[in-house]
Amino acid sequence: MDGTEGNAGQPGPAERSHRSSVSSVGARAADVLVYLADDTVVPLAVENLPSLNAHELHRAVREVLQLPDIALEVFALWLVSPLLEVQLKPKHQPYKLGRQWPELLLRFTDAPDDDVAMDEPSLQFRRNVFFPKRRELQIHDEEVLRLLYEEAKGNVLAARYPCDVEDCETLGALVCRVQLGPYQPGQPTACAVREKLDSFLPAHLCKRGHGLFAALRGRGAKAGPGEQGLLNAYCKVKEAAGGDSGRGASLSTHYRAYLLKSHELPFYGCAFFHGEVDKPAQGFLHRGGRKPVVVAISLEGVHVIDSREKHVLLGLRFQELSWDHTSPEEEESVLWLEFDGDNEGTPVNRLLKIYSKQAELMSGLIEYCIELNQTSELAAPQETVSGPPSAASSLPSSAQRPQLQRQGSVVCSRLQHLSTIDYVEEENEWGRGKERGRGRIRSRLQAPSCQHRTRRGARTHKWSADQAGETEAHHVLLQPAAVCGPGELHRGAAR
């Protein structure tokens, strides 16, 4: 399979290019290329590739990279293309899934036939969605920390992890420290940062002018806002106490500091899915249309992110939501999210409708994450989330405000940009506390009708199950990641 080039972020159409994951296939040895988060390649010569499973390939990668045993839990093998990303189960056979890739694309994407015919996945060694982030800070192996750092950095630079400007500068300063060494005052450092600015900050913070002014600025004129903020943060990066501060010193402290800061992003370590939501109506006769979104799901909850504006529209922990998915015949699949809200002082339940051919994948992942959380809570006491003092001390010193206290933070929900179905439950239901889960929405959708209140205006009317496009849904529990093989899906994907 010729694989498709991708990085930790979701590339746009102009960025798509193919890269080879398998150069020859047969009963004899085959050369398999496994891509790391920094786009380097691990070449493997394997026997009988068609029958080789992901667990065996994972072990081969670990042996080549000389990674410790913890890497088995931290990382997973993924099949990745611009159209779909799949974390593999240990028992999956990557070669066979690659051959079945067009079937997966037809089932789980809206890609045109021509794109489906051209698209092939590459095999990538990436973070396991189900590895708790609190355990990352207990890792001491520098290479494992580096791989996690590279993946997080790629997601930040690609704006896959939306970040406020001050967080981008803090994270970019740590990248400067890793790539350029300790901060050295003077023009050479400023020039080095300017020349590689897009290696430290997302593209939207690297914009520069054009023409004569830009040329003059490149010769020593005053730095732009993003560049200056990065330099200010870079000079505040602290070195580990008593450690070698030279360029060749151990970088574990800075890798860990980057991860510690990344953990503040609520969607860190998520699996990403694509869909659309309804826009709020702009007037009585003007329908709002739809906007593309990314749905990020992790062990901690669900975040709906505006694909164009790169900010959070809705963020919910699992204990705050109920969910379900419907797959009406000849209609679009829908993931439903229900959560508490307020409409002009009246408590309401809100239903968000996410249109996506990946709805059943998202629903299955939510269910499995909740099960994992319940199992881990029973098996072990809560662990501390904070990292070692050396990691925290490496962060640039500043009086940064917590993200959720910043006015207009990109990680804060923007419910005003969503069109939801709001309804009021019976008076006595509010007093006894609602049990969250999958059954709530299913019973609501199957009800002959329910009373709800639209977000725009106080008019109350009946909402029937027919309006939701409800038919008997096909539920699939997908584990341990975004997708199973086509055969498993058609059989119901029992765990």
- On whether the pTM is more than 0.75, the answer is yes
pLDDT at 483 (0 to 100): 42
The CATH class of the 4-129 domain is alpha beta
Rounded distance between C-alpha atoms, residue 323 and residue 332, angstroms: 17
- β-bridge pairing 30-35 and 122-127: parallel
Rounded distance between C-alpha atoms, residue 354 and residue 56, angstroms: 37
Residues with Cβ within 8 Å of residue 166, at least 6 apart in sequence? 229, 398, 400
**Residue in the structure block whose two tokens are 């189900």:** 130
Rounded distance between C-alpha atoms, residue 308 and residue 494, angstroms: 36
- In order of 31, 36, 37, 120, 471, the CA distances from 95 in angstroms are 12, 18, 21, 11, 36
Nearest of 334, 339, 367 to residue 353 by alpha carbon: 334
What DSSP state is assigned to residue 358? T
Tokens of 354: 């996410």
Residues with Cβ within 8 Å of residue 191, at least 6 apart in sequence? none
- The values of phi and psi at residue 27, to 5°, are -70, -25
CATH topology for 143-262 is: Acyl-CoA Binding Protein (1.20.80)
Tokens of 362: 């998202």
**Residue in the structure block whose two tokens are 């910043």:** 406
pLDDT at 337 (0 to 100): 96
Of the candidate CATH numbers 2.60.40.1180, 2.30.29.30, 3.40.50.300, 3.40.47.10, the domain formed by 271-479 belongs to 2.30.29.30
Q: What are the boundaries of each domain within the chain?
A: 4-129, 143-262, 271-479
The residue length of the chain stands at 495
pLDDT at 376 (0 to 100): 81
- In order of 275, 294, 353, 439, 440, the CA distances from 336 in angstroms are 12, 15, 5, 12, 11
Tens place of pLDDT per residue across the chain (495 aa): 443 333 334 444 334 344 556 544 444 567 899 999 999 999 999 999 999 999 999 999 999 999 999 999 999 999 999 999 999 999 999 999 999 999 999 999 999 999 999 999 999 999 999 999 999 989 999 999 999 999 999 999 999 999 999 999 999 999 999 999 999 988 889 999 999 999 999 998 887 655 444 545 555 555 566 899 999 999 999 886 655 555 556 899 999 999 999 999 999 999 999 999 999 887 666 667 899 999 999 999 999 999 999 999 999 999 999 999 998 777 889 999 999 988 878 888 999 999 999 999 999 999 999 999 998 876 665 554 444 545 555 666 544 444 444 457 888 988 888 888 888 866 444 333 345 566 566 656 655 444 333 333 222 333 333 333 333 332 222 333 444 433 343 323 333
